[in-house]
Amino acid sequence: MAIDWFPLWLSLRVAALSTFFSLLLGLWLAYILANREFRGKEAVDAAATLPLVLPPTVLGYYLLVILGRESALGRLYESVVGHPLVFTWQAAVVAATVHAFPLLVKTARAALESVDRSYEKAARTLGASEWRVFWRVTLPLARRSIFAAAVLAFARSLGDFGATLMVAGNIPGKTQTAAIAIYDAVESGNTLLARTLVLIISAGAMAIVYGANRLEHRRVRP
Amino acid sequence: MIQARIAKKYPPGKESPGFALDLEIRASAGITVLFGPSGAGKTLTLEAIAGFVRPDSGRILLDDVILFDAASQVNVPPRRRHCGYVFQNYALFPHMTLRQNLLFAADRLRRLERHRRAGEMLERFQLAAVAGRRPHEVSGGEKQRCSIARALIGEPRLLLLDEPARGLDAPLRSSLYTLLRQVRADFDIPILLVTHDLDEAFALGDNMLVIQDGRVVQSGPPRRVLDEPASADVARLLGVANLFQAEITALDPGRNTSRLNTGAFELAAPYLPGHFRGDRVWVSVRAEDLRVHRRDGVLPPNSFPAELVRIQERSQAVRLEFSGELFADVPREEFERQKDNQEWLVEIPPHALRII
């Protein structure tokens, strides 16, 4: 029996895109949390951490409510794109992003805050704008930890099951990611497919985490 | 020309006693030293001028530009203040080469001009040979020079130096002083230098502000400040070892003499204009001006027997501590000649007395 590689390929695509969006969203939020002082800052931080600790089904339920065909956001998306967001592979990207970005916010905030403030101060006295300070000084100095965090976010979005299942469904050849395909294969007794996917994903995850650890623990020069 | 009036209060916290900065600074081209003990508010003053710390009230004026004015709510951000700042830890960007550090700072200039300026500064600060290296690959002196060059490349209107000699050994220190004197000659801008090293203040300062507990307690050329400390506190900060209170018991303008009584001993001094008999004054004598003798019969004027309590070796001299908190710095040969003295006489030459 030939193995259907589509779920694996879809998972990679979804994980890559959601890592990209997590980086955008996570860096932006981390920058705000690390640099601005405002009321309820720690509450925002807590809310951003929530997806990390909530059961994936709860997360999926929230997403369904926010993005469903009846919701304002869902209708807006439908009127712009022409078809509903839910039960498409794009919805899987949204689910994986929400699932993974808290990891990035946490790490990126810590990384940005650990950059010695005197470098940023020095850059400001030299006439640099906040934008330039961030891109030329702070980010390069925090890049190792942020890159490691992005790798972990990638691994985490690769493995999302519950939230994806709820908002994107399990449509073979359309929204069936590797994690869901494994569940499906086990249910229908297709042990060959299940075993192959499990092995590939385990090996991939191992390599990713190992690489990320090596990156983070490499000696950072002062 | 920088003129600043800065007030900033930090209320006492659980573990800190609280701090209030309230001072006024005026400095024109040349090096003005902010001298004072740690925690006096020197660095805070620089940070307020650079714009990192917002004063509660006051006004900061650089040339004709208002950088900060509490009354009219003006607060120019650091990047538009044109103040070069040399940090204690140099703060060279670790991920850039020395040349890139300079180029980053010269961003306001056009591309070709930028590279020309960076090359020129590297040459001038003797960094051309190491321009391609990162900060962690060069020596402390090179880092130091690069951070000064970086602060100057954008042609600031004011240069702020926060303890630039901290952590440098003696030879590097003296070459830093030479460099800073060169900078003072080449750039016609005010330079504010924070230090708690008196020798540094003397080596570099055209002017000196003595800062204590967030206030300027005295200002003037270093030599004058040292010769005429405004208060016993300033004298103590400047390292005057002998300070005591005395009452004026006699004043004779005709013979240009006066007499002082400290309670423990009587002293003859020059006439003290502007004082009256019965005034209580602080008398200061530098340890190196005190003389010591072996006691043998006659007492020279202004000398009295004292008991030696402690001997401390110093790099230039030997410091002798006598009973009654008197300190004398005696040259080594002199001490070798006298070290077997059984009884000591301490002499305070009248010209060494300073009345505060």
* Cα A170 from chain centroid (whole Å): 20
**A1 occurs within a structural domain:** no
Strand partners, B210: B35, B218
Is residue A97 domain-resident? yes
Domain that holds residue A123: 6-217
Per-residue pLDDT tens digits for A174-219: 889 999 999 999 999 989 989 999 999 999 888 888 887 887 776 5
Contacts of A124 in chain B (CB under 8 A): 51, 77-79
Q: Confirm whether A119 is domain-assigned.
A: yes
Contact at CB, B79 and A124, closer than 8 angstroms = yes
Which ranges of B61-110 does DSSP label H, i.e. alpha helix?
A: 98-105
At residue A1, does pLDDT exceed 70? no
From A125, A127, A137, residue closest to B93, measured CB to CB: A137
What average pLDDT does the segment A94-104 reach? 91
Is the backbone of residue A217 left (phi > 0), alpha (psi -120 to 50) or beta? alpha
Q: Which helix (H) or strand (E) holds B3?
A: strand B2-10
How many separate domains does chain A show?
1
The answer to whether B140 contacts chain A (CB < 8 Å) is: no
pLDDT of residue A218: 65
Each as own residue / partner, the long-range contacts of residues B320-329 (CB below 8 Å, 24 or more positions apart, any chain) are B320/B292, B322/B346, B324/B264, B325/B242, B325/B244, B326/B242, B326/B290, B327/B241, B327/B242, B327/B287, B327/B290, B328/B287, B328/B290, B328/B291, B328/B292, B329/B241, B329/B287, B329/B288, B329/B290
CA distances from A73 to A20, A70, A168, B321 (A): 21, 9, 16, 84
pLDDT of residue B285: 85
**Across the interface, which of A118, A137, A141 has its CB nearest the CB of B87?**
A118
Domains of chain B: residue spans and CATH: 2-233 (3.40.50.300), 242-351 (no CATH)
Query: What's A26's domain CATH number?
Result: 1.10.3720.10
Q: What is the mean pLDDT of chain A?
A: 89
Identify the closest residue of chain B to A138 by CA–CA distance: B93
Å between B104 CA and nearest CA of chain A: 8
Say how far apart CA B281 and CA B271 lie, in whole Å.
14
Interface of chain A toward chain B, CB-CB under 8 angstroms? 116, 118-119, 121-129, 132, 136-137, 140-141, 221-222
Nearest one of B140, B105, B139, B137 to B121, comparing CA atoms: B105
A183 domain residue, yes or no: yes
ipTM above 0.90, yes or no: no
Instruction: Render pLDDT for A110-142 as a digit per residue (tens, 0 to 9).
Output: 999 999 999 999 999 999 999 999 999 999 999
The Cα of A108 is separated from the nearest Cα of chain B by a number of Å equal to 18
Nearest to A127 among B89, B93, B108 (CB): B108
B104–A222 CB contact, under 8 Å: no
Residue A202 one-letter amino acid: S
Q: Answer whether B95 sits within 8 Å of A141, measured CB to CB.
A: yes
Counting residues of chain A whose pLDDT is more than 70, the rounded percentage is 96
pLDDT tens digits along A161-172: 888 999 988 888
Euclidean distance between CA atoms B56 and B204, whole angstroms:
31
CA A117 to chain B, closest CA, distance in angstroms equals 9
Report d(CA B69, CA B3) in Å as an integer: 12
CA torsion angle A121 A122 A124 A125 (round to 10) = 120
The pLDDT value given to residue B297: 67
pLDDT digits (tens, 9 = 90+) for B61-95: 999 899 999 999 999 999 999 999 999 889 999 99
Q: Is residue A162 domain-resident?
A: yes
A9: nearest Cα among A172, A153, A147, A169: A172
Torsion-angle region of B4 (φ positive above 0: left; ψ -120 to 50: alpha; else: beta) = beta
Q: Does A222 reside within a domain? A: no
Return d(Cα B276, Cα A196) in angstroms, integer: 104
Residues from chain A contacting residue B108 (CB–CB below 8 Å):
127
Closest-CA distance, A144 to chain B, in angstroms, reads 12
CA distance A220 to chain B (A): 10
Chain A positions in Cβ-Cβ contact with residue B92 (cut-off 8 Å): 122
Q: Is residue A49 part of a domain?
A: yes
What is the rounded CA–CA span in Å between residue A187 and residue A176? Answer: 14
Provide the β-strand partners of residue B257. B252, B270
Is the CB of B80 inside 8 Å of chain A's CB atoms? yes
Among chain A residues, CA nearest to B158: A125
Which segments in chain B show pLDDT lower than 50?
none
Under the banding of pLDDT at 50, 70 and 90, the label for residue A222 is: very low
| A125, A133, A221, best to mutate vs chain B, most B CBs in 10 Å | A125
- Residues in A closer than 8 angstroms to B77, CB to CB, are 124
